[in-house]
Amino acid sequence: MDSRITIADLLIARRQNRKIAAVSCYDYTTARLLSQTDVQMILVGDSAAQFMLGFDSTLPATMDFMVAITAAVRRGAPNAYIVADMPFLSFQVGIAEAVKNAGRFVAEAGAQMVKIEASGAYLDVIKAVSDAGVAVMAHIGIRPQNISRIGRFKAEATTAEMAVELICLAEQMVNAGAASLLIEGTAAEVTEIITKHCEVLVIGCGSGPGCDGQILIAPDILGLTQGSTPKFSKSYAGLANETIGAFNGYCKQVEQSQFPDAEHSYHMKAGELEKLQQLIKDKL
């Protein structure tokens, strides 16, 4: 029996007021660990460009890269609900290209939904991808792919006028066919209003507790990131120092010839070393 989580399962959780835990993850190893937890949704975010590749924004993530890591996450977490992030220029250049790229995530990587960082200019894209049979999560509020235009991010919908605009945009996204919303960096009061008035699943990222679920990135949850993190981020472990300590322990044992030891080495079968020594002696 297929135990894979579906959008129907998530909507049931919403109706029953059960919160949904989502994590942004980029690799097979972490996904495999997540598959052994109560996390229901995994987003393969284009923030992988920053956390895996070391870029200072999400913009360098390519379609091929995103498809490859989404497929890896699916292999690691076969039963989770997988959302794939549409990277920069994967949907902005035209409807046909957007539909094709969204389809790649489903057909090649096993994603069940694609996320599109959407302004009002892309309502036709949301509709086209949805009409093509691919579930869409519309990402509103702070949109990291917009960094080149705005220069720096700040909290969204902190005034009444801004809030009305975002509430209207959320409604437009749902009317265009979005099956879910991700709201990032938005005033908690506004996100709660949107969640109450929407029929679709609403996931919050730094947007307060009033959403149907929450998402954080795996490296932040594990305490692997060093330096500044967003105000809304929270670490549930401190694995950075522990990881550094493990690597240093390995280095020390290698330097002191303590690793590998006999237990961590392969060995010839009994009597074979003597035969080898004789063969070498005979050849010499």
Which residues are catalytically annotated? Answer: 184
Bridge partners (DSSP) of residue 20 are 213
Helices (H), 110-224: 123-131, 147-150, 160-176, 188-197, 218-221
Where in 25-156 does DSSP place strands (E)? 41-44, 81-85, 113-117, 136-141
d(CA 185, CA 232): 8
Residue 204 DSSP SS3: strand
Closest CA to 119 of 144, 91, 138, 95: 138
Residue 59 DSSP SS3: coil
d(CA 185, CA 156): 6
Task: Output phi, psi for 243, to 5 deg.
Answer: -70, -45
d(CA 36, CA 45): 20
